[in-house]
């Protein structure tokens, strides 16, 4: 639908005024499409949060501090998306006009970390207590009567909405919790 | 939430923020632009003379603004121009709630008049049509500012006004019809996809 800012690019490229500008706007309207890709982030050792040694919040509680880095796993997904977008556009007889660069801070158009995300992870599940916080039932390795059933157990940041996965995991955790409680293990 | 419970000021501010951002992701909803056009229509309907009273620009500035909007998007064989579509009202209403716009457009209009005064000893409005065209041909292109730095403020002003005029025009009923946009209407039945044209 026609909206504010729609012809900013046209005005910038073509400049001028009058009937020619109007005609050009009519000609280019509806001839462009945009793509937005979603990928899955694999955790890496350079991406974590920790308690900030210096900063506290208004209640005097130390705040979290975040460290973040993309790796080749994510960059290659972004590269693949660009290639796929280009192939789609060109197969349809269009012209690929991306302005994204292959280097710089946002290679292949990848966004800054945290810009488009679902908040999941940080208390990942896994078999090995050395590399995970929870077991497969969302139960803490260290504290047997602690279950974490929100988005925190997820081990990667998936490209899809995580709510159904969170519900499935917490369903399984609940059944396990009930069974363990009935056995008197908790 | 009905349109009445949102204040006019809220919407105008939102629109102005979106327009300043300028990126595709920050495009403001078409609804907010429609609200502005609607506010103008309501005011015209309520006034005895059927007229809109400018909220920010002086009568002289508003007359200049009308001439500029008409030059940027004139009437042609397809549709009416920016003035008929309500671009000057759209711009004035937005500007009345945004200090940055006030400076860029208000200051730009003063710049334009003083430029015309230096050149023709007249204000832009008083200039002959050929003289106005001469001025516009100078400030409508960035390359002219590169050749003559004295034009750069005028070029920046005109670029901003051209953008605002497009926003006002292409969100109006006339502008939307000009682009032949037919979406957002319900289909009573779906007759299937239109036939695919033969690929040449």
Question: Taking a C-beta distance cutoff of 8 angstroms, is the pair B73, A22 a contact?
Answer: yes
Residue A47's contacts (CB-CB under 8 Å, 6 or more residues apart) are A67, A68, A69, A113
**For chain B, which residues make up each domain, given as ranges?**
56-178
Question: Taking a C-beta distance cutoff of 8 angstroms, is the pair A74, A113 a contact?
Answer: no
Cβ distance A12 to B159 less than 8 Å, yes or no, reads: yes
Tens place of pLDDT per residue across chain B (200 aa): 344 455 777 777 766 665 444 333 334 556 778 888 999 999 999 999 999 999 999 999 999 999 999 999 999 999 999 999 999 999 999 999 888 999 999 999 999 999 999 999 999 999 999 999 999 999 999 999 999 999 999 999 999 999 999 999 999 999 999 999 887 778 889 888 888 877 65
**pLDDT for res B23:** 36
**pLDDT for res B30:** 64
Cβ distance B73 to A22 less than 8 Å, yes or no, reads: yes
Q: What is the DSSP string of B72-125?
A: HS---SSS--TTTTTHHHHHHHHHTT-HHHIIIIIHHHHHHHHHHHHHHSS-TT
Cβ distance A15 to B30 less than 8 Å, yes or no, reads: no
Cβ distance B27 to A25 less than 8 Å, yes or no, reads: no
pLDDT tens, position by position, A90-105: 999 999 988 788 888 8
Question: Helix or strand or coil: residue A156?
Answer: coil
Give chain A positions within 8 Å (CB) of B167: 4-5
The pTM assigned to this predicted structure is 0.71
Q: Which long-range contacts (CB under 8 A, 24 or more apart) does A122-130 make?
A: A122/A49, A122/A152, A123/A148, A123/A152, A123/A153, A124/A43, A124/A152, A124/A153, A124/A154, A124/A155, A125/A153, A125/A154, A125/A155, A126/A155
**For chain A, which residues make up each domain, given as ranges?**
8-38+73-109, 118-182
What ipTM does this complex have? Answer: 0.81
What distance in Å separates residue A81's CA from the closest CA in chain B? 19
Quickly list H helices, chain B: 8-21, 30-46, 59-72, 87-95, 99-101, 107-120, 129-139, 142-147, 152-170, 173-178
> What's the full length of chain B, in residues?
200
pLDDT tens, position by position, A39-91: 999 989 999 889 999 999 999 999 999 999 999 999 999 999 999 999 999 99
Using the Cβ of A23 and the Cβ atoms of chain B, whether some distance falls under 8 Å is answered with: yes
DSSP state of A68: -
Q: Is the pLDDT of residue A4 over 50?
A: yes
Give chain A positions within 8 Å (CB) of B170: 2-3, 6-7, 25
Closest by Cα among B20, B18, B164 to B85? B164
Hunting for tokens 């309907």 — which residue is that? Answer: B45
Alpha-carbon distance of A113 to A41, in angstroms, equals 10
Residues 141-160 of B with CB under 8 A from A: 141-142, 158-159
| Residue B117, token pair as written in the block | 């005064």
Question: Taking a C-beta distance cutoff of 8 angstroms, is the pair A125, A135 a contact?
Answer: yes
Alpha-carbon distance of A89 to A101, in angstroms, equals 18
Question: Which sign does the torsion angle of CA A13, A17, A20, A22 carry?
Answer: positive
Report the half-sphere exposure of A91 (CA within 13 A, side-chain side).
6
DSSP state of B141: -
**pLDDT for res A162:** 94
**pLDDT for res A97:** 86
pLDDT tens, position by position, A120-169: 998 999 999 999 999 999 999 999 999 999 999 999 988 889 999 999 99
**pLDDT for res A23:** 95
CA A153 and chain centroid, separation: 16
**pLDDT for res B5:** 54
What distance in Å separates residue A95's CA from the closest CA in chain B? 17
What distance in Å separates residue A98's CA from the closest CA in chain B? 13
Q: What is the largest CA-CA distance in chain A?
A: 82
| From B27, B76, B142, residue closest to A22, measured CB to CB | B76
| From B15, B72, B175, residue closest to A21, measured CB to CB | B72
DSSP state of A125: B
Q: Which long-range contacts (CB under 8 A, 24 or more apart) does A147-151 make?
A: A147/A173, A147/A177, A148/A123, A149/A173, A149/A174, A151/A118, A151/A119, A151/A120, A151/A121
The whole-chain average pLDDT of chain A stands at 92
């Amino acid at each position: 639908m026609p909206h504010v800012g729609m012809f900013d690019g046209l005005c910038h490229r073509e400049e001028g005024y009058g009937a020619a500008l109007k005609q050009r706007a009519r000609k280019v309207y509806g001839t462009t499409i945009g793509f937005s890709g979603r990928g899955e982030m694999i955790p890496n050792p350079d991406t974590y949060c920790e308690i900030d040694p210096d900063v506290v919040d208004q209640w005097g509680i130390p705040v979290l501090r975040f460290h973040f880095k993309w790796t080749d796993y994510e960059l290659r997904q972004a590269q693949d998306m660009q290639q796929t977008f280009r192939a789609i556009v060109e197969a349809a007889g269009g012209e690929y006009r991306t302005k994204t660069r292959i280097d710089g801070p946002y290679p292949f158009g990848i966004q800054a970390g945290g810009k488009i995300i679902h908040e999941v992870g940080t208390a990942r599940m896994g078999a090995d207590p050395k590399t995970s916080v929870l077991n497969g039932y969302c139960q803490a390795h260290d504290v047997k009567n602690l279950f974490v059933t929100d988005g925190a157990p997820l081990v990667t940041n998936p490209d899809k909405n995580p709510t159904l996965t969170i519900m499935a995991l917490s369903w399984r955790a609940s059944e396990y919790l009930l069974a363990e409680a009935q056995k008197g293990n908790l | 939430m009905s349109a009445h419970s949102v204040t006019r000021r809220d919407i105008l501010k939102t629109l102005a923020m979106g327009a300043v951002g300028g990126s595709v992701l920050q495009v403001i909803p078409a609804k907010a632009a429609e609200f502005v056009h609607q506010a103008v229509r309501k005011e015209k309907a309520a006034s005895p003379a059927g007229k809109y009273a400018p909220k920010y620009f002086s009568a002289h500035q508003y007359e200049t603004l009308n001439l500029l909007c008409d030059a940027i998007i004139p009437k042609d064989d397809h549709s009416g121009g920016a003035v008929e579509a309500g671009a000057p009202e759209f711009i004035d209403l937005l500007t009345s709630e945004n200090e940055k716009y006030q400076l860029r457009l208000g200051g730009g209009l003063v710049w334009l008049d003083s430029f015309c005064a230096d050149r023709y000893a007249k204000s832009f409005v008083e200039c002959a049509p050929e003289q106005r065209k001469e001025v516009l041909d100078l400030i409508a292109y960035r390359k002219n500012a590169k050749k003559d730095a004295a034009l750069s403020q005028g070029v920046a002003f005109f670029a901003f006004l051209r953008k605002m005029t497009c926003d006002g025009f292409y969100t109006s009923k006339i502008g939307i019809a000009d682009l032949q946009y037919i979406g957002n209407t319900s289909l009573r039945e779906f007759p299937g996809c239109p036939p695919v044209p033969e690929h040449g």
